[in-house]
Structure 1
Amino acid sequence: MARAATTSDAFNAIAEPQRRDILVLLRGGERPVTELARDLGMTQPQASKHLRVLREVGLVKVREAGKQRLYGLDARGLRPIHEWVGGFERFWNESFDRLDDYVRELKQAGQEGPDHGDDEQ
């Protein structure tokens, strides 16, 4: 099965570590591409290319502020990812709940003490 283009799918877009790094920076608020590029140690054209992909999948928005373009996080685009990951969160929570139950059973068995056969004399 062919892989979906990064410009049509948020999952593929965030598969690129540098794009995830951009999203992390944008959690703190809007930033111009020059700041993003500087903070991530990449060229402005590289940052612009990643921002274009993130914009096309709906993870980043842009607005004009004078001569500058400010990029900001559009978290609505993360909803499908959040929902998908949420299924695994439920799995892990249920697993940890079972582990807690097992640990409680072990502690309870330890408090009751071992059966040494003291009834026989």
Structure 2
Amino acid sequence: MPVETPNMDVTTLKALAEPNRLAIIELLRESPLTVGEISHQIKLSQPHTSKHLKVLSDCGIVKVLAKANRRYYKLRPEPFQSLESWIKSFQGIMEERFDNLDRLLKELKNEGEF
């Protein structure tokens, strides 16, 4: 019987796989930042940073907050909740494998082979 798994958007994984975008995500964990603040901290030009933020925005990972004449980028929780749900769907499989390994090690120990 197939196990039902949560729907995982591959574009989220692709966006997070790029090292500069992942660095941006790590920065935004703390607080919303402007393009200038982000580019300064990850040592990328503003145009390159803006391109990465566009990708993150297009796939719904970040949202833009306008305050006066500045645009702040902030993480959206939904993509990370979906990612967490998808990862948790593997938990049962991994627990079963660890239980099998534990049983095997106990059998080998009882037989004096380990």
Name the TM-score, length of structure 1 as normaliser. 0.69
Aligned length: 104
- 1:87 matched to 2:61? The reply is no
2:17 is paired with a residue of what secondary structure?
coil
What is aligned with 1:64? 66
Output the CA distance in 1 between the equivalents of 2:56 and 2:29.
Answer: 14
1:19 maps to: 21
- Greater Cα radius of gyration, structure 1 or 2: 1
Q: What is the distance in 1 between the residues matched to 2:32 and 2:103?
A: 46
In structure 1, what is the Cα distance between the partners aligned to 2:86 and 2:111?
Answer: 39
The alpha-carbon distance between structure 1 residues 99 and 83, as it changes in their structure 2 partners (threshold 3 A), is same
Q: Structure 1's 18 and 65: CA in aligned 2 closer, same or farther, altered over 3 A?
A: same
Once the two structures are aligned, what percentage of the paired residues are identical?
36
Determine the structure 2 residue equivalent to 1:116.
none
Q: Which has the higher contact order (CA 8 A, sep 6+)?
A: 2
Q: Distance in 1 between matches of 2:72 and 2:35?
A: 7
Instruction: Structure 2: state its 5+ residue gaps.
Output: 1-9
Task: Report the Cα offset of residue 43 of structure 1.
Answer: 0.7
- Structure 1: give runs of 5+ residues left out of the alignment: 1-7, 114-121
TM-superposed CA distance for 1:42, in Å, is 0.7
User: Which deviates the most, 90-99 or 36-45?
Assistant: 90-99
SS in 2 for 1:14: helix
Task: Spell out structure 1 runs of 4+ moving beyond 6 A.
Answer: none
Could you say which residue in structure 1 is the equivalent of 2:5? none
RMSD: 2.4
How far does residue 35 in structure 1 lie from its aligned partner after superposition?
1.8
Deviations 1:26-58 (A, max 9, x none): 112212211211221211111111111111111
Asked whether 1:98 is paired with 2:111, we answer: no
